[in-house]
Amino acid sequence: MPSPRTTDGEVLRPGWGYASVTAKIAGLVLSRPVRWPWLAAFLATLAMTLVYLGAMTWLFIKGVGIWGINIPVGWGFAIANFVWWVGIGHAGTFISAVLLLLRQKWRTSINRFAEAMTLFAAGMAGLFPILHLGRPWFAYWLAPYPDHMNLWPQWRSPLVWDVFAIATYLIVSALFWYLGMLPDLATMRDRARTRGKQVAYGLLALGWRGEARHWARHETAYLLLAGLATPLVVSVHSVVAMDFAVGNTPGFHSTIFPPYFVAGALFSGFAMVLTIAIPLRRAFQLQDFITEVHLDHAAKVLLATGWIVAYGYLVENFMAFFSGDRFEIAMTVDRWTGFYAPVYWAMLACNVLLPQVLWWRAARRNTLLLFVLSIFINLGMWMERFMIVAQSTSHDFMPSSWGLFIPTRWDWIFLAGSIGMFAWLFLVFIWLLPAISISEMRELVKEERDEPRPPARGSSHRSVQHGGSDGRA
């Protein structure tokens, strides 16, 4: 059993006790005065969200023609954004589920907001397939239900698989997130000073009283959900990848897509975790909870997944020529030299070249550099999605039908709008809910205390008892 004090540093700075940890994290929500930077960010993102909603209204009134899409490029930003957001939505579940099963202590302090991020990203992603429909009001036809037309979805279409994949993922990650939060909600309820907050958190806490039975059930359910969520991490983006792999268009039709998409998803997901974690720990002085060790680990994951993605690029280009398929070759050459070539090379720079600095420990521990890098990786991953979606179709089988996709202002508004709404939801989250798991942090504290005695999982509820009054009703 590895101690939290790992070889290359600690995941929780010493000197923290149950009470102080609890007070610190809960305080972020309950007793933190609203400061202007947060307020400014909140208002700005709220404005973007409203613009986004307005743009959607206009889209439903006019039709998808307000975007730059055309024949041959039937999908533009909408689907690129969709794939990008789904990818970002991966890290959370990976961190909380897979790392939990792997007993990785360092996940503790980041899993909560990572899961929130997952939820919101998946939500953003889930919107786009509906928005991009020509007749969105019939979106429900993709769901199987007995209707008076005796019609069912067309099961061979990957888009139908998508509906199930995304929906399952959303539900499971939401449950996982909420279940993990129950003890903390109880803590919030008990620490809340105003009646309103007590009632609100109380309702959400579902009457959690921290009894041993509660903890036992909680542990089991949490582990079960983790087990349930783990395959989803792989399945969701594999299915999304098949939206393309099943198609016959050069640039779509590639068997490596599922693994390559999953790796890309984790890549962009962890990048987003860093993009969020670094400002977060800075803004709320969480350096003691989210230490360099966390950033270091995340950076290593970035490096690893980054190389898998790079391998994907390599194989794509290799197979184009190895297969000898003239359409694939023409499409690939167009990627290198065609109208969208700048995007392609920029993408390679962001996703393959820049991450190599992470070989150096110093770079992995330099928060500013990590932050900038994570932004670039997010950018690069979006460009990758765009290249797959737009460039491939713009240059397929019939030269006479080749045509370019030029984004209109509406395309940009929808991209920016989804980012704004995502950020806004996240700000609301850290405003109302504990951004770091209190209960699990306290486990960390405990394990530091009674080292080297291995902690018995069942005894974890006792740690709560130490915590003072929390949980007693």
Partner 1 sequence: MTQPPIPEAGARLERVIEVQRGAGVNRRQVLAAMAASMALANTACSPPPRLQAHPYVNLPEGGAGGQPMYYASAFVRDGFAHGVLVGSQEGRPIKIEGNPAHPSSLGATDIYAQASVLQLWDPDRSSVVRQRLAREGDARVAPQIASSTWSAFEAAWLECADALADPHGSATLRILTGPMTSPTERALLQTLLARGPRARWHVHAPLSDAAAADGAWMAFGRHVAQVAHFDRAQCVLALAADPFSDGPGAVRHAMDWSSARTAVRDGIAGARAPVLFAAEATPGLFGARADHRVALSPARIEGLLWRVAAHWMPELTPADVGLADPAAAAFESRLLAALREAGSSALVIGGAGLSAEAHALVLALNQRLGAIGRTLTLIEPPDAAPGAGTLADLVDALKAGTVDTLLVLGANPAYDAPAVFDMPHALQRAKLLVHAGLHVDETARLADWHLPLSHAYEQWGDARAHDGTATLLQPAITPLYDTRSAAELLALLAADPLRDGHALVQRQWRTGREADFEAFWRKSLRAGVVADSAAPPLEVQTARLPARLALPAESPSATLTALFVPDAATHGGAFANNGWLQELPRPFTKITWDNAALVSPATASRLGMSTGDVVRLQAGMRTLDVPVFVQAQQADDLLTLPLGGGRRHAGRVGDRVGFDASVLRPASAMTLAVTLQKTGRRHEFAVTQHEIDQHARELLRTVSVGTALAPEPKRDQLYPPFASPVHAWAMAIDLDACIGCNACTIACQAENNIPVVGKSQVAKGRAMHWIRVDRHDLEEIDNSGFQPVPCMHCEQAPCELVCPVGATVHDSEGLNVQVYNRCVGTRFCSNNCPYKVRRFNFLQYSDETTETLKAQRNPDVTVRERGVMEKCTYCVQRVARARQHAEREGRPLVDGDVVTACQSACPTRAIHFGDLNDTGSDVVHARTSPRHYAMLAELDTKPRTTYLARIKPDA
Partner 2 sequence: MSAVFSPRAVLVVRLAVLAVLGLAVATVMLFVWRARAYEQLGEPIAQPIPFSHKHHVGDDGIDCRFCHTTVETQAHAGLPSTAICLGCHSQLFRDQALLAQLHQSAATGQPVAWQRVHVLPDFVYFNHSVHVAKGVACVECHGRVDQMPLEWRAWPLQMQWCLDCHRNPTTHLRPASQEFAMDAPLPDPVEAGALARAAHLESRRRMTDCSTCHR
Strand partners, 472: none
Q: Which residue has the tokens 């024949």?
A: 71
Q: How far, in Å, CA of 358 to CA of 215, rounded?
A: 40
Binding flag, residue 17, partner 1 (CB under 8 A)? no
Strands (E) across 393-454 are located at: none
| Residue placing its CB nearer to partner 2 in the complex, 57 or 194 | 194
Quick one: which of 203, 224, 314, 406 contacts partner 2 (CB under 8 A)?
A: 203
Q: Which of 120, 159, 82 is nearest to 386 (CA)?
A: 82
Contact flag: residue 74 with partner 1 (CB under 8 A):
yes
The least CB distance from residue 148 to partner 2, in Å, is 4
**Counts for the chain of helices (H) and strands (E), in that order:** 18, 2
Binds partner 2 (CB under 8 A): choice among 115, 162, 190, 316: 190
Gyration radius (Cα) of the chain, Å = 23
Residues 433-462 that bind partner 1 (CB under 8 A): none
Query: Shortest approach of partner 1 to residue 145 CB, angstroms?
Result: 13
CA separation, residue 17 to residues 21, 318, 443 (Å): 6, 56, 10
Q: Which does 103 bind (CB under 5 to 8 A by kind): partner 2, partner 1, none?
A: none
Contact between residue 382 and residue 84 where contact means Cβ atoms under 8 Å apart = yes
In which region does residue 16 sit, left (phi positive, over 0), alpha (psi from -120 to 50) or beta (all else)? beta
Choose the contact partner of 281 out of partner 1, partner 2, none; CB within 5 to 8 A by kind: none
Amino acid letter, residue 392: S
Q: Is 199 in the site for partner 2 (CB under 8 A)?
A: yes
Residues of this chain, 367-396, that bind partner 1 according to CB under 8 A: 393, 396
Residue 207 interacts with partner 2 (CB under 8 A): yes or no: yes
Q: Which of residues 141-160 bind partner 1 (CB under 8 A)?
A: 141-142, 151-154, 156-160
- The encoded tokens of residue 437 equal 């798991």
Distance (Å, whole) CA 57 – CA 44 = 20
Nearest approach, Cβ of residue 472 and partner 2 (Å): 8
Q: Which does 148 bind (CB under 5 to 8 A by kind): partner 2, partner 1, none?
A: partner 2
Provide the token pair at 281: 């720990």
Among partner 2, partner 1, none, the one that 401 touches (CB under a kind-dependent 5 to 8 A) is partner 1
- Among partner 1, partner 2, none, what does residue 294 contact (CB within 5–8 Å per kind)? none
Rounded to a whole number, what is the distance in angstroms from the first to the last CA of the chain?
Answer: 35
Please select the residue that binds partner 2; options are 7, 57, 150, 154, rule is CB under 8 A: 150
Smallest gap, in angstroms, from Cβ of residue 61 to partner 1?
A: 10
Q: Does 189 interact with partner 2 (rule: CB under 8 A)? A: yes
- From partner 1, partner 2, none, which one binds at residue 328 (CB under 5 to 8 Å depending on kind)? none
With binding defined as CB under 8 A, does residue 198 bind partner 2? yes
The amino acid at residue 234 is V
Site track 33-62 with partner 1 (rule: CB under 8 A), x = hit: -----------------------------x
Q: Minimum distance from CB of 264 to partner 1 (Å)?
A: 20
Is residue 469 at the binding interface for partner 2, with CB under 8 A as the rule? yes
* Residues 11/108, Cβ–Cβ less than 8 Å: yes
399 contacts partner 1 (rule: CB under 8 A): yes
Residues 273/255, Cβ–Cβ less than 8 Å: no
The tally of CA atoms less than 13 A away on the side-chain side of residue 444 is 30
Instruction: Please name the residue ranges forming H helices in 246-291.
Output: 257-283
Question: Is residue 70 a contact point for partner 1 (CB under 8 A)?
Answer: yes
Residue number, 150 or 400, with CB nearest to partner 2 = 150
Phi, psi of 140 (to 5 degrees): -65, -10
Q: How far is the CB of 447 from partner 1 (least distance, A)?
A: 50
- Candidates 102, 149, 368, 398; binder of partner 2 (CB under 8 A) is 149
Q: For residue 341, give both structure tokens.
A: 């070539």
Q: Which does 68 bind (CB under 5 to 8 A by kind): partner 2, partner 1, none?
A: partner 1
3-state secondary structure of 253: coil
Q: Is 89 in the site for partner 2 (CB under 8 A)?
A: no
d(C-alpha 92, C-alpha 177), whole Å: 10
Per-residue binding string, partner 1, 317-336, x by CB under 8 A, is ---------x---x------
Residue 278's alpha-carbon distances to 129, 282, 370, in angstroms, are 31, 6, 8
Closer CB to partner 1, residue 6 or residue 70? Answer: 70
**Residues 355 and 302 sit within 8 Å (Cβ to Cβ):** yes
Q: Can you read off the two tokens belonging to residue 144? A: 């199987």
245-284 footprint of partner 1 as x/- string (CB under 8 A)? -xxxx--x--------------------------------
Beta carbon nearer to partner 1, 86 or 295: 86
Q: Of 92, 202, 434, 467, which lies in the binding site for partner 2, with binding defined by CB under 8 A?
A: 202
- DSSP3 helix / strand / coil % (the chain, rounded to 5): 75, 0, 25
Q: Which residues form the interface with partner 2 (CB under 8 A)?
A: 147-151, 189-190, 198-199, 202-203, 207, 469, 473
